[in-house]
Amino acid sequence: MFRGEFGNSSLGKTPVGVKIVSIIYYIQVALFIIMGLFMLFGAKRMTDVVIAASPMLGEFVNVFLIRIVGIFLIALAVVIFIIARAIWKLKQWGRIVAIIFAIFGIISVLISMFTAFKWTLIIKLLIHSFIGGYLLFSRVSKRIFK
């Protein structure tokens, strides 16, 4: 049914490219949950490490703030899980939200590259570009989402 451009009918209704995008989001969900739980339950230790590494940050970093960030990451993981599931199930709204997230991700990475370049930013840029490019420009993606 769908061949080429990461579309393979032997894997069922969902093209391989869409599955890859969805799996990338599922991996992000797992990482956000791990980081969020670490921040919730390891906030005291994390605060001590940050203050030891940079005493000037002591007035800005505290246990409460780290736990709030942890809760935010877990909540964000839930939202991303919903988006990943929508992409896997070929929902048009999931595609649109993922494209918007990818565009924001690309902009964020480009801004970060100008302020403090790190090689990991190249990887992030490639991932966001793949997701946005595939979901926005792929003929298979345009055709399959409904």
Average pLDDT, the chain: 88
Counting the structural domains of the chain, the total is: 1
* Domain ranges, residue 38: 3-144
C-alpha to C-alpha distance for 119 and 41, rounded to whole angstroms: 30
Lowest mean pLDDT among 58-67, 71-80, 105-114: 58-67
User: pLDDT tens for residues 100-135?
Assistant: 999 999 999 999 998 888 889 999 999 999 999 999
Cβ pair 15, 136 in contact under 8 A: no
Which contiguous run of DSSP H or E holds residue 39?
helix 16-41
Q: Could you give the CA distance from residue 25 to residue 33 in angstroms, rounded to a whole number?
A: 12
Instruction: Give pTM, 2 decimals.
Output: 0.81
At 3 the three-state DSSP class reads: strand
Q: What is the pLDDT of residues 15-52, one digit of tens each?
A: 999 999 999 999 999 999 999 999 999 988 888 887 88
Phi, psi of 145 (to 5 degrees): -75, 135
